Structure 1
Amino acid sequence: MGPYYVTNLVQMLGPVAGVMAMAKAGFATRTIANGPRNGEVIRVETPTDVHAILEFRSGATVTLGASWDVWAHRHPNMDLYGETASVYVPDPNFFGGTVEIHRGSGEPEILTPDAHPFGVVNFTFPDGRRFANWRGAGLADMVAALREGRAHRCSLDLAVHVVDVLTGILRAGEERRFIAMSTTCERPAPLPPEAARALVVQEPVAA
């Protein structure tokens, strides 16, 4: 799941300069819960509980916690705390959803689906839960970029940098020290509402 969250942060804040982390495996063994090896007990050989601090080249610092070792939680997906407001960001696993901005008093401002088409709920899980799920956005932007002769937002440099950050976090946890990134990338261009609408074959309608 790490690429979703770190890519989202790089999209918003730019490239990462370096990381610190603590990492461990919460359980020595785990039981496979599906597929052809369902029920098989395997030995855990990689950290499954990670607490990291990311320092961005922009000067921002972010605390990142990721774990497969909790039964349930009430943590939000992602909050960003800025100089003039806090931004509550939806789950980057779905490339869309409701964004909220809190400016320090009163209730947060909710950006409605009218503000951005990727806020529109368009997907239903088997259990009935409804989500804004726009996972094809990156691929659609790549196709449009090739047609238009411009750089696409999910670039190779971005992907390499995100992998560098994730492996750097594991290395920092293992070596107990600050790890400087050996790669960087340009912060991808924002995807404003009009550009997002151009990627959608059929205009989304709020459910």
Structure 2
Amino acid sequence: MCSSDLHVMSHGMESWHPNPDFFFQPGGGPILDLGPYYISNLVQLIGPVKAVTAMASASFAEREIGNGPRLGEMVPVEIPTNVHALLEFENGALITFGASWDVWAHRHENMELYGTSGSLFIPDPNFFGGEVLMSKAQCEITQVPDNNHPLSVANGSDGSGVHRANYRCAGLAEMAQAIQENRPHRCSLEMATHVVEVMTSILASAQDRGWASMTTTCDQPSWLGPEQAVQLMR
């Protein structure tokens, strides 16, 4: 792994959420709200983070609620809503991560991983399933063959009526199975602590305009294959 680009960008939640205040208060913002999906996915794919740095801003001092009984009410913005981070991983990979609620439209892919012999294009880690594309050196981009992973099968519709795969208790089920089998579970305390430190260090680096070295680390979880996923669903 050489590098990667990550982007999770929109214009925030105030257009649809009837009480979006907490998104724009300390503890909210695009890094702490959406970063867990993206950074956890990176740690699972390429391992733990070594250091981070970032810059951040807030383009709007207030947000107008666009839905519900508080329609038209203005909500103050107390945290950065536009964050651009650089992550250095223990294996040497350098990752750029843009997380913003100040964007009306963009053409960035959610996750692109650039390696020494090709590139991978990864679907949004906020959801399950999705098309995985790849390109080897000097080759066209092609779809990675579907391995019929059970956690990629659509099982419901989202708020917009889009049919999606949604298995958000898979980690909890795997934890319960691991406890029964007396083995480490994939969504470990060490991994969760490490991801939280990465996110809070990104915000601290943006405020201090400096680098932050991680004090925590974790093992890279093993891949959850189709057969193992079937066992969880039973």
Runs of 4 or more consecutive aligned structure 1 residues displaced over 6 Å after TM superposition: none
Question: Which residue pairs with 1:112 in the alignment?
Answer: 146
Q: What is the aligned counterpart of 1:170 among 200, 203, 212?
A: 203
Deviation at 1:37, TM superposition (A): 5.0
> Of the candidates 121, 126, 136, which is equivalent to residue 169 of structure 2?
136
1:172-200 superposed Cα distances (whole Å, 9 cap, x missing partner): 11111111112111111211222122112
The letter for the 1-side match of 2:122 is: V
Q: Which residue number in structure 2 is paired with residue 48 of structure 1?
A: 81
Per-residue Cα deviation, 1:26-55 (whole angstroms, up to 9, x for no partner): 111112345665543222111100001100
Mapping of 1:27-66 within 5 angstroms? Answer: 27-34=60-67, 37-66=70-99
TM-score (norm 2): 0.79
Task: Measure, in 2, the Cα distance between the counterparts of 1:126 and 1:66.
Answer: 22
CA deviations 1:86-109 (Å, max 9, x no partner) are 111111112333322221313413
Structure 1 alignment gaps of length 5 or more: 202-207
**How many pairs align?**
200
Q: What do the CA deviations read for 1:66-123 (whole angstroms, capped 9, x no partner)?
A: 0011112222111111111211111111233332222131341333152x22222222
Q: Which amino acid aligns with 2:144?
A: I
SS at match of 2:144: strand
1:110 partner letter: V
Q: Partner of 1:205 in structure 2?
A: none
Is the Cα contact below 8 Å between 1:98 and 1:111 reproduced in 2? no
Matched, 1:93 2:126: yes
Q: Secondary structure at the match of 1:80?
A: strand
The CA deviation at 1:143 is 1.3
Change (3 A) 1:34 1:178: same
Counterparts of 1:146-165 in structure 2 under 5 Å? 146-165=179-198
- Tell me, which stretches of 5 or more residues in structure 2 are unaligned? 1-33
If the length of structure 1 is used for normalisation, what is the TM-score?
Answer: 0.89
Separation in structure 1 between the aligned mates of residue 206 and residue 123 of structure 2, nearest angstrom: 27
- Identity across the alignment (%): 52
What secondary structure sits across from 1:92 in the alignment?
coil
Whether the aligned pair in 1 keeps the contact of 2:123 and 2:129 (CA below 8 Å) is yes
Deviations 1:109-153 (A, max 9, x none): 333152x22222222234331222222211111111111111111
Q: Distance in 2 between matches of 1:148 and 1:159?
A: 21
